[in-house]
Structure 1
Amino acid sequence: MSNELYTVIPDGSVTTPRGFRAGGLHCGLKKTGRNDLGAVVSDVPAAAAGVYTTNVFQAAPLHVTRESIGKEGKLQVMIVNSGNANACTGEQGMEDARSMRDAAARAFGVAPHLVGVTSTGVIGELLPMDKVLSGIERLPAAVSGTREGSEEFCQAILTTDLVKKEACVSLTVDGIEVHIAGAAKGSGMIHPNMATMLGFITTDAAIDAEALQSLLREATEVSFNMITVDGDTSTNDMVVAMANGLAGNEPLHPGHADWPRFAQAFVYICRELAKSIARDGEGATKLIEVQVEGAVSDEAARVIAKTVIGSSLVKSAAFGADANWGRIIAAIGRAGQPVNPDTVDIRIGEIVTLQQSRPVPFDEEQATEYLKGDTVEIHIHLHQGDGRATAWGCDLTYEYVRINAAYRT
């Protein structure tokens, strides 16, 4: 698929951009034998940017990665383990995260500040460092620039996820083909302002580190911060972007002629990953998309969209294929944003249920059939301004309760 801005590469991965390798292996953190340790590696130091959870109890790896990026705005290696979050583990957790960083630096032959670390899994348990350090020693032999390397990496970052999440595009900058790709994990403990999700974005474009950080923050605001599964914000959420410049373009920045196209392609990657996380919510049977327009501002639209998508009643109605638009209007009304109670339109798919805040008769059977599908779109028009936003989530099911009732045990 392509448009005038960029071309989507369906089978692309984090190893598609020039000079990036990835891989994963099993080091013993998961009892299932599935991969639980992985790495994304650039052939050269890459400009790096990161965004992190807003949870007060930030896990040790986040602090270590922030330290590394803060040194000179570059990374060359990102290592990740699943099966153990290394969160709420005190000073020992910090020592363990730094030991992972230093061990990876030795294994890949780079300076420690060029290594980022992230973890995901159960909170409050110390890492079995003998297994982790032994695995890190074996990681260099497990990474490659192949599709298989990316597959192994994607498996290494999963917890309760059912599917891997990837996206990739190409576009021209200064007449040169560049690539942007991403991989992510996330299924539960997902709520706007980051959640138990990890994202890794690679690009072979040359881009100023400050501009990359700004772009990542802006893209996160309209992608990863616009999804919810269960209303919980985790301790380990992180998205890291690495740009190694091996495409050979002139460094991108907001004043560059190709910046708007690159920025839109970058946002596309983040949104696709975010939607994949929402669709793969624990126990989910369908993706829900809430589009809000006509708000007094984009920020007001974002808050309203996130309130509706996060409503347990809206999510339950979607699961039950019940076109109960009263759940939607109630969520809009409690979002704490300016709303005229006389001018709201609501549409479920193509079915109009409310117009100018007055009920519109509709075919219940038709609505039920639509809601039985795997994607549900809710359209809200407030008729108050030009603000607009889109949020993504999933239905709330019996299976979600089953999964989380026994997550630790």
Structure 2
Amino acid sequence: MAVGLHDFPLIPEIKGVRIGVTEAGIKKANKKDLVLFELCEGASVAGVFTQNAFCAAPVRICQKHLSTTNSRYLLVNTGNANAGTGKSGLENALKTCDALALQVGVDVDAVLPFSTGVIGEPLQVNKIIDAIPAAIANLSADNWNAAGVGIMTTDTLPKGSVRTFEFEGRTYTVAGISKGAGMIRPNMATMLGYVFSDISMDEDLLHSILKDVVNKSFNRITVDSDTSTNDSCIAVATGMASNVKLTSINEPLTQVFISAFTEVMQELAHAIVRDGEGATKFVTVEVVGAVEQQDATKTAFEIAHSPLVKTALFASDPNWGRILAVVGRAGVENLDVDKVQLHINGFEIARDGGRSPDYLEEHGQKAMAPDEIHICIDLGMGKESDMVWTTDFSHEYVTINAEYRT
């Protein structure tokens, strides 16, 4: 079930972007599973990809194509990850790029392929090639919701976000979609994420902003601590808003854009957690009082990844000792446990390394009952902090992943 996930937003036309969605029958019949994004000439495109060494064939091709020419098309299939497929996987991914490039009249390097689904199975390349004409025929400026549905795998709902802002009399839009519910500890981005704006921006600047913002959004979420082979996040600036092309992070318009871009990226990242496989809780883990930010980050992730903590969250069980145990093994150098404080949803649970004198079991029960939980650990050592977002572990999570291929 999705935890507090809002309805898919109404995304206005972003000039320079058209979307086509169709059924290729890759894994299931009568399912939208092929999505095509068409970008205008001159659009700036930036991407970040999984750090998993067993990265998928389309990831390797995307990285190569991004470095060689201006991208014009993004081709996304679900139902098959085309990962762990060796040389034939690369050949098959390139075949889909070749087929699309031939039909739309661009160089093959202008096509970026993306895949998500089961790892280790050969890509049914002919089904994708046969469906490409239908995706081209379906190209439209208002296919956002259909695209959100088309990139889903175990997601229960499509995920989208949009922000519109004005600057010096000109209106700009930032909008995107994402997918992901399991195999989520991105280590760069999310399983698949696409964010678009009509702003005009230098490609190097866009890439720099994207890398920074994923560290504040997609790189701060985890469902099950597994980094996917296919994680890809793409940012596109079409330039159709006709502003003077941005080249510096210090320009006032760049700063306004970064604010809107960050909001969209964080909302898409949160949506993935809210729709985590079998999730019944949306959990914020905040660690403050660290000497170094990396200590706050690793402590927060250790808590978010702990099966004992996550199962207690599912049961709404205030077994807060499990959290302190994780803090103690997180590897924070010179940690003084007598200074550690723990709050859950505003209730003081632990003070000075032990049970708060004001704590009652009923406080813990009230703290753990809601479907949105904020865990805050104060290490009492310094001024650095960080925050990650995660889910609980439920019976349904096990069922979904035990039966994933059936």
How would you bin the TM-score normalised by the shorter chain? over 0.9
One of 286, 294, 299 as aligned partner of 1:299: 294
User: What is the rounded CA distance, in whole Å, between the counterparts of 2:11 and 2:47 in structure 1?
Assistant: 16
User: What is the rounded CA distance, in whole Å, between the counterparts of 1:141 and 1:363 in structure 2?
Assistant: 63
> In the alignment, what sits opposite 1:117?
113
User: What is the rounded CA distance, in whole Å, between the counterparts of 1:14 and 1:44 in structure 2?
Assistant: 22
> In the alignment, what sits opposite 2:3?
none
1:377 aligns with 2:364: no
> In the alignment, what sits opposite 1:216?
210
Closer, same or farther in 2 for the Cα pair 1:336/1:17, shift >3 Å? farther
Instruction: Check whether the contact 2:188–2:231 (CA below 8 A) recurs between aligned residues.
Output: yes
* Structure 1 consecutive aligned stretches of length 4 or more whose deviation exceeds 6 Å: none
One of 71, 90, 94 as aligned partner of 2:90: 94
The runs of 5 or more residues in structure 2 that have no matched partner are 1-5
1:34 aligns with 2:28: no
> In the alignment, what sits opposite 1:325?
320
Closer, same or farther in 2 for the Cα pair 1:29/1:105, shift >3 Å? same
1:138 aligns with 2:134: yes
Deviations 1:185-225 (A, max 9, x none): 00111114147711001111111111111111111112111
Q: How far is the alpha carbon of 1:145 from its aligned partner?
A: 0.8
* Matched position secondary structure for 1:258: helix
Q: How far is the alpha carbon of 1:142 from its aligned partner?
A: 1.5
Q: How far is the alpha carbon of 1:246 from its aligned partner?
A: 0.6
Instruction: Check whether the contact 1:16–1:181 (CA below 8 A) recurs between aligned residues.
Output: no
Partner amino acid, structure 1, of 2:198: D
Closer, same or farther in 2 for the Cα pair 1:366/1:108, shift >3 Å? farther
One of 73, 76, 80 as aligned partner of 1:77: 73
Deviations 1:122-146 (A, max 9, x none): 1111112221101112111122111
User: What is the rounded CA distance, in whole Å, between the counterparts of 2:183 and 2:102 in structure 1?
Assistant: 34
Instruction: Check whether the contact 1:195–1:233 (CA below 8 A) recurs between aligned residues.
Output: no
Closer, same or farther in 2 for the Cα pair 1:41/1:364, shift >3 Å? farther
Deviations 1:56-113 (A, max 9, x none): 11100001111111014x3221110000001111111101111111222233333322
1:175-324 paired onto structure 2 within 5 Å? 175-194=169-188, 197-252=191-246, 253-324=248-319
Partner amino acid, structure 2, of 1:189: M
Aligned-residue RMSD, C-alpha: 1.9
Instruction: Check whether the contact 2:57–2:93 (CA below 8 A) recurs between aligned residues.
Output: yes
One of 138, 148, 151 as aligned partner of 1:154: 148
Scaled by the length of structure 1, the TM-score of the pair is 0.92
User: What is the rounded CA distance, in whole Å, between the counterparts of 1:52 and 1:126 in structure 2?
Assistant: 21
One of 56, 60, 75 as aligned partner of 1:59: 56
* Matched position secondary structure for 1:303: helix
* Matched position secondary structure for 1:104: helix
Closer, same or farther in 2 for the Cα pair 1:195/1:177, shift >3 Å? closer
Closer, same or farther in 2 for the Cα pair 1:58/1:372, shift >3 Å? same
User: What is the rounded CA distance, in whole Å, between the counterparts of 1:324 and 1:276 in structure 2?
Assistant: 27
Closer, same or farther in 2 for the Cα pair 1:404/1:11, shift >3 Å? closer
Closer, same or farther in 2 for the Cα pair 1:174/1:210, shift >3 Å? farther
Q: Could you tell me the percent identity over the aligned residues? A: 38
Instruction: Check whether the contact 2:273–2:391 (CA below 8 A) recurs between aligned residues.
Output: yes
User: What is the rounded CA distance, in whole Å, between the counterparts of 1:112 and 1:55 in structure 2?
Assistant: 25
Partner amino acid, structure 1, of 2:14: P
Deviations 1:256-313 (A, max 9, x none): 1222222122122111111111111111111111112221122222222111111111
Instruction: Check whether the contact 1:39–1:79 (CA below 8 A) recurs between aligned residues.
Output: yes
Q: How far is the alpha carbon of 1:13 from its aligned partner?
A: 6.0
Partner amino acid, structure 2, of 1:150: W
Partner amino acid, structure 2, of 1:168: V
Q: How far is the alpha carbon of 1:10 from its aligned partner?
A: 8.3
Scaled by the length of structure 2, the TM-score of the pair is 0.93
User: What is the rounded CA distance, in whole Å, between the counterparts of 1:15 and 1:153 in structure 2?
Assistant: 14
Deviations 1:221-244 (A, max 9, x none): 121111111111111111011111
Closer, same or farther in 2 for the Cα pair 1:395/1:362, shift >3 Å? same
One of 149, 167, 170 as aligned partner of 2:164: 170
* Matched position secondary structure for 1:121: strand
Count matched residues: 398
> In the alignment, what sits opposite 1:344?
340
> In the alignment, what sits opposite 1:3?
none
* Matched position secondary structure for 1:172: strand
User: What is the rounded CA distance, in whole Å, between the counterparts of 1:14 and 1:386 in structure 2?
Assistant: 39
Instruction: Check whether the contact 1:163–1:280 (CA below 8 A) recurs between aligned residues.
Output: yes
Closer, same or farther in 2 for the Cα pair 1:229/1:187, shift >3 Å? same
Closer, same or farther in 2 for the Cα pair 1:334/1:175, shift >3 Å? farther
> In the alignment, what sits opposite 1:48?
45
> In the alignment, what sits opposite 1:4?
none
User: What is the rounded CA distance, in whole Å, between the counterparts of 1:366 and 1:21 in structure 2?
Assistant: 52
> In the alignment, what sits opposite 1:107?
103
Instruction: Say which is worse superposed, 339-348 or 217-226, in terms of deviation.
Output: 339-348
